[in-house]
Structure 1
Amino acid sequence: MSTEQHVAPAEAQEPELFENPGTEEHRERLGDVDPRYAKANERLIALILAVSALASIGSIVAYVALPLEDLWSVRNSTLFLGLGLGIGMLGIGVAAIHWAKTLMSNVEYVEERHPQRSDDETRAVAADMMKHGVEDSGIGRRPLLKGAALGAVALAPLPYVVPLVANLGGDWNVGAFRHTLWGETPEEYSGRLPDGSLGRRLARDPEDTPIRATDVTNGSVFHVIPHGLNEHEHFYEEKAKAVVLMVRLDPDLLHEPEEKADWSYNGIVAYSKICTHVGCPVALYEQQTHHLLCPCHQSTFDMTDQAKVVFGPAKRPLPQLPIAVDDEGYLVARADFDEPIGPSYWERLQ
């Protein structure tokens, strides 16, 4: 018994090819046929670019004019600076899109792509097409748009550049990082030492209550601020520089050089909490090893040995706060830190 098999011709097995529909018929826009409409679009684009330029200038004015005195003023300055930056860059983008959609050529050009260099005739045709596109965009005939675009683009980077340049330079050693509130001794927040001098009292953070030496037990850890800090008008700025971590260790464990022998009190030592790597708060204390750890990049400091670096990217020990006890038994700072707090930098005096 045999079964006949019918095999379709090869032509019938090939998929049908779609006919190339080509490009859609070009439809002219109102601006292509009505010069008044094109002129209106040109003025609108120039207006958007002008708003962009004004926003960029406004952000610079906000940076210079608005004071940075408290949390609200910082927030307002940041708000207006951000609005200026955003509107400035957004205006350029919106103007570019509207320009392309309403004034530049929207004719579709089709060109076959070749893997090798085209012949000279084809290259000449392509160059002519490029020249035609530039001419068709009208950029040479629209000085208003050229001027507005150049002005907006030139002003847009300034809100980024001006704050950067304004904050460069200066000697940090004699500036903000060199001095903290520990060096200021208003009488209402200070205690009197046996030699008659005043020292800023150490207070708990955030309660701002003075600390007696008898309150600090062996192995205890205190987060410390200068007494009276909560009443300071520049609270956040000063706290960022003056925060201290204080612990009480066995005095026999301390390795103190002779010139710093009186910087601690019965095993109580106090060091800046600002990491000397990039300024993160160092606040993780390990009682068994007496190590202080920075959680950002794992720099580790030995509290028994002048807070020297034992691990991590930090290159300098934490600055020590010299402390003593006043005539009422409260812990006080005998002086400010002996060096600027915070990260290292090229101008720091060693």
Structure 2
Amino acid sequence: MSSQDIPEETLPSKQGDTREGAVTVKGDPFADPGLPPHEHRVQDIDERAAKRSERAVAFMFTLSMLATVGFIAAYLAIPIDKNIYVFPLGHISAMNFTLGLTLGVALFCIGAGAVHWARTLMSDEERIDERHPIEASPEVKAKVMADFAEGAKESAMGRRPLIRNTMFGALALMPLSALFLFGGLGPKPGTKLRKSKWAAGKLLVNQNTMQPLRPEDVQVGSLTFAMPQGMSEEDHDFQVQIAKAALMIVRLRPEDIKDKKELDWSVDGIVAFSKICTHVGCPISLYEQQTHHVLCPCHQSTFDLSDGGRVVFGPAGHALPQLRIKVNDKGYLEAMGDFAEPVGPAFWERG
């Protein structure tokens, strides 16, 4: 039997419902019950309790400020290589542990302070608004602005200057943590990008045989990879140094060399160029004997080793740096100095 079959006067009525927002419809057993009566918090009726909550929120914001200051102090004062024992983690970096702890406390206290403020001091009365079309009418817009103004008033920002000031202080100091973190992404390069392990008198060592090279070891059309004398794969910074010092050695016929400077810096057609592509720093390893071109396998930048290492194709921005070489008194190939320009991709400070 449906409700339509029951006389209307026998159905329960909602006329006696006093809850806020209750919809009273005679004969409807499923009417909207509305919201229960609002229960005031202790802070709403006791100003001393409200003051305690205010001090608690201010304490959390102040603690956030102190944690941010501690973060900066730890970053500046703790050596990067200092380790401490923390149970159950074991030995860990003192700086990383302190930075994580202070940053976590700073963020947590801002969030906890905001939540405690909202739960104890801001208005918690629930209100019912009828749904409205997506496009707001002028009346709705005016109501929104009025609600915003009332919300700002009920947040007690004006009447609670202690909370307001400490919150602004915590939010203002918090971004300083990011600034110090960005500064610690790595040491300033200084002149490291402009210098390599090559220097006057350094022998050219075959990277495969680890033996110094003589002119007769380099045949016309061959490609040989070399590194400076004194470097070893066992060196702790070998990968960093070889990334700048890796060398390509090619022997051309002197009459095939088009660039006069390249000819002057060569020995009987033996030319030495950086192996590092000037696009994004990939190692070059493909050589075309007939064209004297070398090809970067990463993005196909192509360089002409018979014409000063200039770019003939691809995204590379500038020519490969050439190393000036000579034959010493013992018949070995040696460098006459470092590369005349920085090796690898361009950077802001490059001239």
Using structure 2 for the length normalisation, give the TM-score.
0.66
Superposed displacement of residue 111, structure 1? 3.8
Note the 1:135-174 alignment, pairs <5 A: 135=156, 140-142=161-163, 145-146=166-167, 148-160=169-181, 162=183, 167=188
Say yes or no: does 1:240 pair with 2:243.
yes
Q: What is the deviation of 1:206?
A: 7.8
Give the gaps of 5 or more residues in structure 2: 5-27, 82-92
Change (3 A) 1:119 1:326: closer
| 1:46 aligned to which of 46, 62, 83 | 62
Change (3 A) 1:267 1:260: closer
Counterparts of 1:21 and 1:223, CA distance in 2: 84
Q: What is the distance in 1 between the residues matched to 2:149 and 2:262?
A: 81
User: Take 2:55 and 2:170, find their aligned partners in 1: how far apart are those partners?
Assistant: 16
CA offsets, 1:60-82, max 9 Å, x none? 556xx759xxxxxxxxxxx7887
Equivalent residue number for residue 318 of structure 1: 320
SS in 1 for 2:198: helix
Task: Indicate yes or no: 2:182 matched with 1:180.
Answer: no
TM-score (norm. length: structure 1): 0.66
Would the aligned equivalents of 1:46 and 1:144 in 2 still touch at CA under 8 Å?
no
Structure 1 partner of 2:153? 132
Instruction: Write the distance in 1 (CA, Å) between the matches of 2:230 and 2:257.
Output: 32
CA distance in 2, matches of 1:42, 1:234: 51
Identity of aligned residues (%): 31
Equivalents in 1 of 2:251, 2:272: separation in Å?
11
Per-residue CA shift, 1:184-237, capped at 9, x if unaligned? x4xxxxxxxxxxxxx210123487543333433444433322111338786555
Report the AA paired with residue 263 of structure 1. W
Q: Which residue of 2 aligns with 1:213?
A: 215
CA contact (8 A) 2:157 2:164 kept: no
Displacement after TM superposition at 1:109 (Å) = 4.7
SS at match of 2:321: coil
Aligned to 2:25: none
Q: Find the counterpart in structure 1 of residue 16 from structure 2.
A: none
Q: Which has the greater radius of gyration?
A: 2
Match of 1:96 in 2: 110
Aligned residues: 301
Q: CA deviation at 1:31?
A: 7.8
The correspondence of residues 1-350 of structure 1 with structure 2, limited to 5 A, is: 19-20=31-32, 22=34, 34=49, 36=52, 39-40=55-56, 42-60=58-76, 90-104=104-118, 105=122, 107=124, 108-112=126-130, 114=132, 115-118=136-139, 122=143, 125-135=146-156, 140-142=161-163, 145-146=166-167, 148-160=169-181, 162=183, 167=188, 175-183=191-199, 185=200, 199-205=201-207, 209-230=211-232, 235=238, 237-246=240-249, 248-251=250-253, 254-278=256-280, 280-288=281-289, 289-344=291-346, 348-349=350-351
- Once the two structures are overlaid, the 10-residue window that deviates more, 212-221 or 119-128, is 119-128
CA contact (8 A) 1:88 1:156 kept: no
Contact preservation (8 Å) 1:208, 1:228:
no
Quick one: structure 1 residues 47 and 96, their matched pair in 2 at CA, closer, same or farther if it must change by over 3 Å? closer
CA distance 1:306–1:202, change in 2 (3 Å): same
Contact 1:205 1:224 in 2 (8 A): yes
Q: CA deviation at 1:310?
A: 0.7
Is the contact between residue 226 and residue 246 of structure 2 (CA under 8 Å) also seen in structure 1? yes
- 1:98 deviates by 1.2
C-alpha separation in 1, matches of 2:97 and 2:173:
16
Report the Cα offset of residue 347 of structure 1: 5.5
- 1:93 is displaced (CA, Å) by 3.6
Rounded Cα–Cα distance in structure 2 between residues aligned with 1:206 and 1:56: 49
CA distance in structure 2 between the aligned counterparts of 1:206 and 1:109, rounded to whole angstroms: 80
Cα distance in 2 between the residues matched to 1:31 and 1:61: 43
Compared with structure 1, are the counterparts of its residues 135 and 267 closer, same or farther at alpha carbon in structure 2 (3 Å cutoff)? same
Indicate how the Cα distance of structure 1 residues 292 and 90 shifts in structure 2: closer, same or farther if over 3 A, else same. Answer: farther
Is the 1:209–1:227 Cα contact (8 Å) retained in structure 2? no
SS of 2:155's partner is: helix
Q: Deviations over 1:150-172 (max 9, x none)?
A: 4532422321564699959xxx8
How far, CA to CA, are the matches of 1:207 and 1:282 in structure 2? 19
Q: Give the Cα–Cα distance (whole angstroms) in 2 for the partners of residues 82 and 135 of structure 1.
A: 39
Separation of aligned partners in 1, 2:72 and 2:55: 26
SS at match of 1:223: strand
Aligned partner letter, 2:231? L
Q: Cα distance 1:216–1:39, how it changes in 2: closer, same or farther (>3 A)?
A: same
Counterpart of 2:228, as a letter, is P
Does structure 2 retain, via aligned residues, the 8 Å contact 1:85–1:159? no
